[in-house]
C-alpha cells in the first residue's frame, strides 16, 4: 500500500466505524473527519509559536517525529503522542486531547481548503512522538523564544 493509503487505514482504525470514517473523508468537501483521541493516540496541542519552534527542535534531533496537525490560523499545533499521555500531562498553556475527546483530522495526502492540515502526515506505521522528547523540545523551544523576545 502507498503511504497515504496506509495512513488512511491507520487513522480510520481509530474510528468507531472505520468504513464510515473513510466515507466521510471521501464525501466531506473539506476532506475532514472527527476521530476519537485516547485509543490509538492522544494529541498535545501547543500554541502556534511554541508549536512551530518545538517542531523545529524535534526535526533537528529526529529523522521524523510522529504526525503533527496545525489549525487554519496556525494558532495551534497538535502532536500525536501515545495514548494515556493526555491524562498525565501537566503543562501551562498546553491543551490535550485524550480519552473522551474528539479531534478534526484531515485526509492524509490531500490538501484541504483552509481549516486543519498536516504539517507532518502520518505514514501509516503508527509512529507517534515520544512525549519525553516532546517535552524536552518544548523546553528548548520556549527558552529560544524567550531569548528572541528579550532581544538577546
Sheet hosting strand 42-47, strand order edge to edge: 95-97, 42-47, 76-81, 68-70, 117-120
Q: Mean pLDDT for the chain? A: 90
Q: Which tens digit of pLDDT belongs to each residue from 94-119? A: 999 999 999 999 998 776 666 889 99
Distance, CA of 104 to CA of 71 (rounded, Å): 9
Are 57 and 64 spatial neighbours (Cβ–Cβ below 8 Å)?
Answer: no
What's the predicted TM-score (pTM) here?
A: 0.93
Q: Residue 29's pLDDT is what?
A: 82
Separation CA 66–CA 16 (nearest Å): 22
Residue 1 — very low, low, confident or very high, per pLDDT cuts 50/70/90? very low
Quick one: DSSP state of residue 58?
H
Quick one: 63 exposed, middle or buried, by C-beta within 10 A (0-12, 13-18, 19+)?
A: exposed
What average pLDDT does range 24-39 have in this prediction?
89
Local structure of residue 38 (DSSP, 8 states): S
CB 7 within 8 A of CB 124: yes
The pLDDT value given to residue 151:
72
Q: Are 95 and 108 a contacting pair, CB within 8 Å?
A: no
Residue 112 C-alpha cell reads as: 484541504
Amino acid at each position: 500500500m502507498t503511504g497515504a493509503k496506509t495512513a488512511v487505514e491507520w487513522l480510520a482504525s481509530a474510528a468507531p466505524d472505520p468504513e464510515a470514517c473513510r466515507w466521510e473523508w471521501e464525501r466531506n468537501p473539506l476532506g475532514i473527519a472527527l476521530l476519537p483521541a485516547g485509543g490509538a493516540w492522544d494529541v498535545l496541542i501547543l500554541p502556534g509559536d511554541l508549536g512551530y519552534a518545538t517542531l523545529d527542535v524535534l526535526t533537528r534531533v529526529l529523522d521524523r517525529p510522529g504526525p503533527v496537525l496545525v489549525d487554519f490560523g496556525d494558532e495551534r499545533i497538535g502532536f500525536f503522542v501515545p495514548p494515556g499521555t493526555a491524562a498525565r500531562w501537566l503543562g501551562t498553556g498546553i491543551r490535550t486531547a485524550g480519552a473522551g475527546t474528539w479531534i478534526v483530522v484531515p485526509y492524509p495526502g490531500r490538501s484541504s481548503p483552509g481549516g486543519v492540515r498536516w504539517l507532518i502526515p502520518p505514514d501509516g506505521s503508527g509512529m507517534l512522538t515520544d512525549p519525553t522528547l516532546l517535552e524536552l523540545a518544548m523546553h528548548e523551544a520556549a527558552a529560544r523564544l524567550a531569548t528572541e523576545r528579550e532581544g538577546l
